[in-house]
Chains A and B, each alone.
Chain A
Amino acid sequence: GQQVMQIPQYQHVQEGEDFTTYCNSSTTLSNIQWYKQRPGGHPVFLIQLVKSGEVKKQKRLTFQFGEAKKNSSLHITATQTTDVGTYFCAGLTLNYGGSQGNLIFGKGTKLSVKP
């Protein structure tokens, strides 16, 4: 079945270092979403990417969608302690008619930041 793999599972960085998490799908995606979950909290929507090769930025966060729409990445520049949490990607595949689909979450990358 469809799988969305996310690596790494854990990442420990020193504050100020950069961080990247990668998401890879076994099938071509219609679009991809990214969520952040703070420790003890719930997932919060960050962004959605739709177009092949799309790049979006939110302050220090840069999101990319691969040309083949099978992979995506989230890069954080100069991490801060407020970036701590688990980052999930969620890939969507649609049926031929586009009326239904499956949204599959990756297992997440847990980021810890040492001050």
Chain B
Amino acid sequence: DAGITQSPRYKITETGRQVTLMCHQTWSHSYMFWYRQDLGHGLRLIYYSAAADITDKGEVPDGYVVSRSKTENFPLTLESATRSQTSVYFCASSESGIGTGAYEQYFGPGTRLTVT
């Protein structure tokens, strides 16, 4: 049971480049989330998706794009990377959505992104 995986685990890119972080889950969870984790800020929600083809902004969406053509995949794209986007990115999924009961989130192992 692979659960939820992220790739790459580490990435170094240059300012201005486009980079895509991948997230894949095998549970068929409806909801998927992208967070960034920075020292002093905890976990901040970037985008989330309630189902395939349904996405919505979180707390810090600027500079990011998401898509969800299949339930199991939820890629996050940085269109033109900036140094301020250096962070650890976590993908998460949950069986239920907010307002529908238990919605504990299962987090992937994270991607450590450095923008130079």
Q: Contact residues of A with B, CB < 8 Å? A: 6, 33, 35, 41-45, 48, 88, 90, 92, 94-95, 97-103, 105-108
Complex: A43 Cα to B37 Cα, angstroms: 11
* Closest chain B residue to A33, Cβ basis: B104
**A-B CB contact pairs (8 Å), 12 listed:** A43-B43, A43-B92, A45-B104, A90-B43, A92-B98, A94-B99, A98-B99, A99-B99, A100-B99, A105-B42, A105-B43, A105-B44
Partner of B42, one of A92, A97, A102, A106: A106
**Contact residues of B: prevailing secondary structure:** loop
Complex partner residue of B99 from A6, A101, A105, CB under 8 angstroms: A101
For the complex formed, measure the closest distance between the CB of B14 and the CB atoms of chain A, giving whole angstroms. Answer: 26
Give the interface SS of chain A, mostly helix, strand, loop or mixed: strand
Which chain B residues have a beta carbon within 8 Å of chain A's beta carbons?
Answer: 35, 40-45, 90, 92, 98-99, 102-110
User: Which A residues touch B45, using CB under 8 A?
Assistant: 103
- Specify which of B42, B104, B107 lies most central, judged by the most chain A CB atoms within 10 Å of its CB: B42
Q: A40 to nearest B CB, angstroms? A: 9
* Distance between Cα atoms of A102 and B102 in the complex (Å): 14
CB proximity of A43 to chain B, nearest CB, Å: 5
Q: Is the CB of B108 within 8 A of A42?
A: yes
In the bound complex, residues from chain A placing their C-beta under 8 Å from that of B98 are 92, 94, 100-103
